[in-house]
Chains A and B, each alone.
Chain A
């Protein structure tokens, strides 16, 4: 019997975390559009490990959206193969495949004539879930994406752009798919809401361990969200690596220019305070040395970027910044040295492949 509430499947999933059936494998995937000599996607091969949040990054027209749409077969590749886990997606009935992959797009595409409840329940209804389970699931999802329960009976046009995008995310997650495809979902949302939504997506990713493939042309967004980044140019995969690898060892001039890695301030803006803290979470305690207390203390939150950290450091005239959580507890300290290290010394262990 399937679990009645997929909420419970979060914990049960931990035990099968090392599974391989949620990974996405593309092999030499190529796509031509009619009336075009050059392929939109040109022999792209990569593997997305289950549970990773991988960002497809590149300028518009580089083929990233086309690539994404081949994974739920909105487009069919002209050559190459795509596998989800052990299964070649060509062998699955197309609608069955799509129902097990969450899909969120920039324009959201909520059904205007249906309430948020009906919108969110779309895929579960297609899958024939009992009404009670859909109801329960919708409530859970609205909580998850940060919409209050009374939105269930509202219609899409009664929601703001950011709220619509949240509802779209809830709809994409409705049938608890292990794979989520997102096509510039936050591009049309204002900056403040975008940042909030990004934060919530990260939170959801941490909580639910979905395999997420996220398309964007926004470099900062890519670095904020990604475990790994795929950089594309003119239909080709140029580089695939962690944000760190891409900043410290850009494959070529194109990647360098795209992410602006010769610009130190830009580079700093791509990392969060959290990312340096993580690197030395073991040495958190000894950081409370009395020396740093000479100056009035500057504090910073872990989700802010290192560029803000640098300017705060300069402003305060101190040696270090105290990193505090929202509840005021200290997570650690960061110093000029930490920033310097981040800029010029790649982490050991995550060194790029030569």
Chain B
């Protein structure tokens, strides 16, 4: 792994790009999936069709989706973000909906019966109780974005995928290894961090924080 030590600044910069891409994707994914999940948790008949559409998007091979978006959005991070956000929806929405619809009916009835309005019910009851499932969805979406994000280097979106593609083209095995290693570090660290929050949220809703 001599490549890593000799080009530490470059690797760090690509690592930063990759992290940034992942965070942007996560941000926009949540922006869409949270309201969408609330909507289909309330309007039950929308659940099947919406999840079916998201499932179909999820099955499109990533490279072909990236390439398909080039004529519309050009090269760079923009099509990459759009594709990754689209992929993340299935994982996020599905988990979030399971979390929301899995809340004990008696708890919701009590909240309503005591005179909580819908905002109060959402922020004080539904959100905290569905949070572990949402965080689980976020973790899966983050990991899949980090993974698929490497391929986005193919359409000039940067990130650690650059090392992989360049390594393949130049037959630089060391470069490939460095890229793989860096991506793994990012994925494992993200997994660990989100897992921590997930467990914490889970302990809270089970009333077990002490």
Q: Please report the C-alpha to C-alpha distance between residue A74 and residue B125 in the assembled complex, in whole angstroms.
A: 18
Is A155 a contact of B112 with CB atoms below 8 Å?
A: no
Is B206 a contact of A109 with CB atoms below 8 Å?
A: no
Interface assignment of B129: CB less than 8 Å from any CB of chain A: yes
Interface assignment of B53: CB less than 8 Å from any CB of chain A: no
Is A155 a contact of B106 with CB atoms below 8 Å?
A: no
Is B113 a contact of A98 with CB atoms below 8 Å?
A: yes
Interface assignment of A253: CB less than 8 Å from any CB of chain B: no
Given contacts A74-B113, A105-B113, A107-B106, contact A126 B120 (CB under 8 A): yes
The residues in A between 42 and 88 inclusive whose CB is less than 8 angstroms from any CB of B are 72, 74
Q: Please report the C-alpha to C-alpha distance between residue A197 and residue B126 in the assembled complex, in whole angstroms.
A: 30
Given contacts A105-B106, A156-B207, contact A111 B111 (CB under 8 A): yes
Q: What count of chain B residues pass the 8 Å CB interface test?
A: 25
Q: Find the B residue at minimum CB distance from A157.
A: B207
Quote the shortest CB–CB distance from A264 to chain B (angstroms).
40
Given contacts A155-B208, A156-B207, contact A109 B107 (CB under 8 A): yes
The residues in A between 93 and 107 inclusive whose CB is less than 8 angstroms from any CB of B are 94-99, 103, 105-107
Tell which of A110, A122, A158 has the most Cβ of chain B within 10 Å.
Answer: A122
Interface assignment of A310: CB less than 8 Å from any CB of chain B: no
Residues on B with C-beta less than 8 A from A108 are 106, 110
CB < 8 Å: which of A94, A95, A113 contacts B205?
A: A113
Interface assignment of A112: CB less than 8 Å from any CB of chain B: yes
Is B207 a contact of A155 with CB atoms below 8 Å?
A: yes
Quote the shortest CB–CB distance from B201 to chain A (angstroms).
9
Residues on A with C-beta less than 8 A from B106 are 105-109
Q: Please report the C-alpha to C-alpha distance between residue A254 and residue B113 in the assembled complex, in whole angstroms.
A: 32
Question: Binary interface profile of A, 101-139, with partner B (CB < 8 Å = 1, else 0)?
Answer: 001011111111111000000110010000000000000
Is B114 a contact of A99 with CB atoms below 8 Å?
A: yes
Is B114 a contact of A113 with CB atoms below 8 Å?
A: no
Q: Please report the C-alpha to C-alpha distance between residue A220 and residue B208 in the assembled complex, in whole angstroms.
A: 38
Is B115 a contact of A96 with CB atoms below 8 Å?
A: yes
Q: Please report the C-alpha to C-alpha distance between residue A96 and residue B117 in the assembled complex, in whole angstroms.
A: 10
A-B contact list, 12 entries, CB within 8 Å: A94-B115, A95-B116, A95-B117, A99-B114, A105-B109, A106-B106, A108-B106, A108-B110, A113-B204, A154-B207, A155-B207, A157-B206
Query: B interface vs A, CB < 8 Å?
Result: 104-117, 120, 124-125, 128-129, 204-209
Task: Given contacts A99-B115, A113-B129, A156-B207, list 8 more A-B pairs with CB under 8 A.
Answer: A98-B114, A105-B109, A107-B104, A111-B124, A112-B107, A112-B206, A112-B207, A113-B128
Lowest 3 CB-CB distances: which A-B pairs, in order? A155-B207, A109-B110, A98-B115
